[in-house]
């Protein structure tokens, strides 16, 4: 038996493009931005299949069940949501005296000298 390394462990852009189902131009862009593991020998770019598989695993995104996540959020927010309502109501009550009302005039208006008198 031969213990020679397999030539198929390293792939060029075209083989990797086919393997991943991606355009070669996208892979070239990833190489240029150093966002994909690669080897460069002169002008030749090569990819090690085992490293690409690990790289792909690192790019895996989990699918979220939106209804399940929403139920969890609502379940945990029920108690604190009531507290938030109390805080908001109290804050409104606390600042009622400091709020602009038409009968008091504009709060940012400077009172200049009045006409006709001193």
pLDDT digits 0-9 by tens, 2-45: 444 455 689 999 999 999 999 999 999 999 999 999 999 999 99
Mean pLDDT of the chain: 77
In 10 A of CB 30, how many CB atoms? Answer: 15
- CA-CA-CA-CA dihedral for 54, 55, 58, 59, to nearest 10: -140
pTM above 0.75? no
Give the mean model confidence (pLDDT) for residues 51-67. 86
Instruction: Report residue 59's pLDDT band, with 50, 70 and 90 as the boundaries.
Output: confident
Instruction: Please state the domain extents for the chain.
Output: 7-58, 66-96
């Amino acid at each position: 038996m031969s213990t020679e390394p397999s030539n198929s462990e390293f792939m060029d852009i075209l083989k990797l493009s086919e393997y991943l189902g991606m355009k070669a131009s996208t892979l070239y862009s990833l190489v240029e931005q150093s966002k994909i593991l690669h080897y460069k020998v002169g002008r030749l770019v090569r990819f090690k299949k085992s490293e690409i598989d690990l790289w792909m695993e690192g790019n895996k995104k989990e699918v979220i069940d939106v209804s399940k996540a929403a139920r969890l959020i609502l379940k945990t927010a029920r108690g604190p949501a009531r507290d938030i309502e109390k805080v908001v109501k109290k804050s409104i009550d606390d600042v009622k005296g400091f709020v602009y009302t038409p009968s008091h005039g504009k709060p940012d208006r400077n009172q200049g000298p009045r006409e006709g008198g001193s």
